[in-house]
Amino acid sequence: MHHVDVMYIIVYVALLVACTPILGMYMKKVLCGEETLLHPALGWLERGIYRVCGITSGEGEMDWRAYTSALVLFNAIGLAVVFTVQCAQRVLPLNPNHCSGVEWMCALNTAISFVTNTNWQAYAGETTMSYLTQMCALTVQNFLSAATGIAVFCALTRGIVRTSTTYLGNCWVDIVRSVVYILVPLSVVFSLFLVAQGVVQTLQPNISVTTIEGKQQIIPRGPVASQVAIKQLGTNGGGFFNANSAHPFENPTPLTNFFELLAILLLPAGLVYTYGCMVQSKQHAWIIFGVMIGIWLAGLAVALYAEYDAHAVTHTASTSSYLEGKELRFGITPSVLWATATTAVSNGSVNAMHASLAPLAGGVALFNMMAGEILFGGIGSGMYGMIAFIILTVFLAGLMVGRTPEYLGKKIGKHEMQMVVLVVLVPCIMIFVTAGCACVIPSARASLSAQGPHGLSEILYACTSAAGNNGSAFAGLNANTPLYNTLTGIGMLVGRFGVIIPCLVLAGSLASKKSYAVSTGTFRIDSMMFALLLGAVICIVGVLTFFPALLLGPIAEHMCMLRGMMF
């Protein structure tokens, strides 16, 4: 690594830390219904949506059952709309490239993918989807799936803060406020920046050009910038083009690469501070932030070491390292930083092929997803996943000292722990079930591009990405088959709603409890001891659960590479 690479990382982390309290405080005001600078300009839009949909912003709060039903119904309607638009796009407008209807199984998998904020793509966007599908189905769902995550975060936070009540807020209000005051304004500003940097934004059809060799080549284009902005800010990750953010029309310059990379972590990090403001403990929020960024930076260090380490088998020196599969416009460090950032949240966008990463670097990307994507995690989903780990940590601490576990004045009982265990274990179970099926079914193994431990990593990565609602791909695995569409579709649905529903049940249970004053025996959640214990719980759960699989995949491949074997 050169000093320029080190400065790149330092500036990135510094900007992330600096923006966290600013965005965090703003989002707290929005989600709590307080006035902001944008309310005079956008208040009419919020009120208009309420009138059209029959929503009353100040009344009609829901208990956890009503909140869950509304959220599930809302996402079910979204799934049906996205599926229908894909299948019927051949006869719908805004299809200048004459794309045919998407095959129903791929369309269903894609609809599930975008509704669950996964954005797993088993297709090439520039040749498969019409402009109408890209804009009115996929891009719209990018906003709504992100808002769904924020809504669940709001409900769970209210459950912690409120006492002796059954109400968690209004699902529709939470979604509308998230879209109108957070996601849309940031996306508009970011889209304009991307257009200024050269990202394509047009409704004109693809064009045919003559190359210097005298051959004809089709240049794809479309409404790209508007989708790229929300795909990064909303931790969605689905690309307009098959090459995602490695494509020069999505990510044309080093400046766009840096700010798209920053946008991936921006809102998830800000929501950590929002949580601290809502529970009135900013120090607790900074402790959570420190644990997240500490584990993430440790993984980044391992990945960078693996990429810059020289090995005779790859014929690389420490100054050149592994350039295969990386975009030469950006280089090694921005590519590795992107890979670790996009897997630390449920983003899934890529600016390099993860299958081409060094085995240990690919293992870090896998571990980030296996940890539950809580190292900052998806927008909203990262925080409600982290809250589950926090409650688990407090529970274990209470057992060690012989006291009833307590978090922010709420006693943690059997019912709460059952929901926490579901939140933690459901994605793990889905990863192993789907990966196990793929490993034993011959047609699934036929989709591999490599054998040995790298082949296992391909399967493990795909199933982890789906169940963890990440959406990034290891590349090389042919996932657009009936079997993989089925396995990943089930994994995405259960990985999303198998976590959301227990979180809302947990929120309702906590809201109904009384709050107790902090005593001298209460385990402090704003201390370094809590930070160390929380980090240990996250790593131990990840290591104990997934270490055998990681050992047979990326770690075994790394050991084989040291002995001169490649796959």
Q: Is the distance from CB of 560 to CB of 364 less than 8 angstroms?
A: no
pLDDT band at 318 (very low <50, low <70, confident <90, very high): very low
Query: What is the average pLDDT score of the chain?
Result: 89
Q: Is the distance from CB of 567 to CB of 557 less than 8 angstroms?
A: yes
> Strand pairing of 216-219 and 410-411?
unpaired
pLDDT band at 544 (very low <50, low <70, confident <90, very high): confident
With a cut of 60, say whether residue 288 has pLDDT above it.
yes
* Token pair belonging to 394: 């407090």
With a cut of 70, say whether residue 315 has pLDDT above it.
no
pLDDT band at 531 (very low <50, low <70, confident <90, very high): very high
How many CB atoms are closer than 10 A to CB 312?
9
How much is the pLDDT for 52?
86
With a cut of 90, say whether residue 447 has pLDDT above it.
no
Query: Taking the CA of residue 160 as centre, how many other CA atoms within 13 Å lie in the half-sphere pointing to its CB?
Result: 21
Rounded distance between C-alpha atoms, residue 178 and residue 53, angstroms = 16
Lowest mean pLDDT among 55-59, 209-213, 540-544: 55-59
With a cut of 90, say whether residue 159 has pLDDT above it.
yes
Between 552 and 523, whose confidence is greater?
A: 552
pLDDT tens per residue, range 220-256:
999 999 999 999 999 898 889 988 899 999 999 999 9
Average pLDDT over residues 79-101: 94
* Token pair belonging to 435: 């990966």
With a cut of 60, say whether residue 281 has pLDDT above it.
yes
Rounded distance between C-alpha atoms, residue 274 and residue 290, angstroms = 15
Average pLDDT over residues 411-434: 91
How many CB atoms are closer than 10 A to CB 68?
23
Backbone angles phi, psi at 10, to 5 degrees: -60, -45
How much is the pLDDT for 314?
56
The one-letter amino acid at 412: I
Alpha-helix residue ranges (DSSP H) falling in 89-224: 104-115, 125-128, 131-132, 140-161, 171-177, 184-197
How much is the pLDDT for 57?
57
pLDDT band at 21 (very low <50, low <70, confident <90, very high): very high
On the 0-12 / 13-18 / 19+ scale of CB atoms within 10 A, 347 is buried
Rounded distance between C-alpha atoms, residue 76 and residue 505, angstroms = 19
Q: In whole angstroms, what separates CA 177 from the centre of its chain?
A: 20
Lowest mean pLDDT among 97-111, 200-214, 312-326: 312-326
The residues with which 242 forms a beta bridge, in sequence order, are none
Q: Is the distance from CB of 97 to CB of 130 less than 8 angstroms?
A: yes
pLDDT band at 258 (very low <50, low <70, confident <90, very high): very high
| Residues belonging to the chain | 567
pLDDT tens per residue, range 463-513:
999 998 888 888 778 888 888 889 999 999 999 999 999 999 999 999 999
With a cut of 70, say whether residue 169 has pLDDT above it.
yes
pLDDT > 90: percent of the chain? 56
Average pLDDT over residues 103-107: 91
Average pLDDT over residues 118-133: 90
Q: In whole angstroms, what separates CA 320 from the centre of its chain?
A: 31
How much is the pLDDT for 316?
52
pLDDT tens per residue, range 330-376:
888 999 999 999 999 988 899 888 888 888 999 999 999 988 778 88
Residue-by-residue DSSP string for 346-399: T----SB-GGGS-HHHHHHHHHHHHTTS-SS-STTHHHHHHHHHHHHHHHHHHH
pLDDT band at 121 (very low <50, low <70, confident <90, very high): confident
Q: Where are the domains of the chain?
A: 3-273, 282-562
Lowest mean pLDDT among 66-75, 128-137, 277-286, 443-452: 443-452
Closest CA to 233 of 42, 380, 386, 82: 380
Please tell me the chain's helix, strand, coil percentages from 3-state DSSP, rounded to the nearest 5: 65, 5, 30
pLDDT band at 322 (very low <50, low <70, confident <90, very high): low
pLDDT band at 4 (very low <50, low <70, confident <90, very high): confident
Rounded distance between C-alpha atoms, residue 439 and residue 182, angstroms = 42
